[in-house]
Amino acid sequence: MKIFINPGHAPEGIPDPGACNPYTGLQESEVVFCVGEKAADYLNAVGIETECLQSDSLEEVCSAANGSGAELFISIHCNSAGTADANGTETWACAGSAAGSQLAQCINNQIVDSLDTTDRGVKIATPGVNGLYVLTNTDMPAVLVELAFISNAEDVVLLTEQQDEFARAIARGVTDYMNESEEE
- Can you give the C-alpha Rg of the chain in angstroms? 15
Judge whether residue 184 has pLDDT over 90.
Answer: no
**pLDDT, tens digit, 9 for 90 and up, residues 103-116:** 999 999 999 999 99
Would you identify the CATH topology of the domain 2-183? Aminopeptidase (3.40.630)
Judge whether residue 147 has pLDDT over 90.
Answer: yes
Answer positive or negative: Cα dihedral of 25, 27, 30, 31: positive
Percent of the chain exceeding pLDDT 90 equals 89
Higher pLDDT among residues 120 and 14, named by residue: 120
Q: What contacts 24+ positions apart, CB below 8 Å, involve 157-161?
A: 158/115, 158/117, 159/26, 159/31, 159/78, 160/24, 160/26, 160/31
Q: What is the dihedral of CA 110, 113, 116, 119, to 10 degrees?
A: 70
